Amino acid sequence: MDLYEHQARQLFEEHGIPVPRAEVTDSPRQARAIARGLGGRVVVKAQVRTGGRGKAGGVRLAEDPAAAERTARQILGMDIKGHPVRAVMLAQPVDIESEFYVSYVLDRSAGRFLAIASAEGGTEIEEVAATRPELVTRIPVDPAEGVTSAKATEIVREAGLPPRAADVLIRLWQVLTREDALLVEVNPLVRTTQGQIVALDGKVTLDDNARFRQARWGEQGATQTDRLEAAAAAKGLNYVKLDGEVGVIGNGAGLVMSTLDVVAGCGARPANFLDIGGGASARIMSDGLSVVLSDPDVRSVLVNVFGGITACDAVADGIVRALDTVRPTKPLVVRLDGNNAARGRAVLGERAHPLVHQATTMDEAARLAARLADTT
């Protein structure tokens, strides 16, 4: 459950982390009034649950209330990486001397949390970690011990942060533990020209399992951050967006995971994880295919089904139904095996759609899907 920046900022403020004065609105006219109340000169920031807002034009400086209204009108309604901007936050600008990065994230493999900090804030930490990994400090945090004054001092010293940042690190840990968070991040954490330590931007991801304790965020806070994941969830599908070009659909999490590995082994990248379940109907198959085909990153789709509870002819019926409604422009590779597989293959053969290719084995299907993605 990802929070918007203004919601993360609210948590920071509640736990004593300094933040600039700010207000949120969905009205350009109200933006003018807010700017006037904040002193006139403000930063107008799109409120969407994705990074890269600045590069997309979603973060701009307005010199006066009239400019704030114009800027809010320009930003509201923008689409940033598939996320429509429905609200903006207006914040007082600060005079920045230095920028830093700090976060706590759950390290599932190690069964503990990880403090990540860098004196190079204000940029994408992934880029810094990839090009200059020596500038990113990673320090394990024992959940039972937490971030004490000594641990905060260690993080500050190792990362080259100003000593006064230690208090923010302690309070940021309180946000993590008291608010059921899996990730808390401040980028940038800044030192102003007056020597203050201020959190300018924040990201907080709450644990879905603790949603019953986080009711104040309502359904708005629980909405999926990805457009396709939200569409899939509305259809009751188990879908996760990935950074690839081959869409993957299968029945059963184990089969889907194996398919992802085989696709990767063929030199391609999976675009998603989509499990239609052990008893998927033709309607579910049709819904899943329409979600995957609506992903602009997908260049080919691999449907890998082993018929058990799910009969392959029902899957084939779903594919045919989707072909009649979605009108795909991307090739589909279908591998059916198991219960009623021959009948399912016959259904697809009778439809004879020019974009549908059949394969008899998973390896053959993955190779074909990878090749089609490379040439599409």
**What residues are annotated to the active site?**
101, 185
Give φ, ψ of 340 to 5 degrees.
60, 30
Q: Please give the structure tokens belonging to residue 46.
A: 């799109």
State how far the Cα of 29 lies from the Cα of 75, in Å rounded to an integer.
13
**DSSP letter assigned to residue 3:** P
Nearest Cα to 189, choosing from 95, 92, 102? 102
State how far the Cα of 204 lies from the Cα of 217, in Å rounded to an integer.
12
Q: How far is CA 26 from the centre of its chain?
A: 23
Q: How far is CA 58 from the centre of its chain?
A: 17
State how far the Cα of 260 lies from the Cα of 296, in Å rounded to an integer.
19
**Which residues fall within 8 angstroms of residue 58, CB to CB, at 6 or more apart?**
45, 46, 48, 75, 78, 80, 85
What's the chain's Rg over C-alpha atoms? 24
Give, in order, the Cα–Cα distances in Å from 87 to each of 25, 26, 37, 64: 6, 4, 18, 19
Number of CB atoms found within 10 A of residue 177's CB: 14
Is the separation of the CB atoms in 176 and 157 below 8 Å? no
Amino acid of residue 123: T
Nearest Cα to 206, choosing from 189, 228, 223? 223
Place of tokens 């207000």: 23
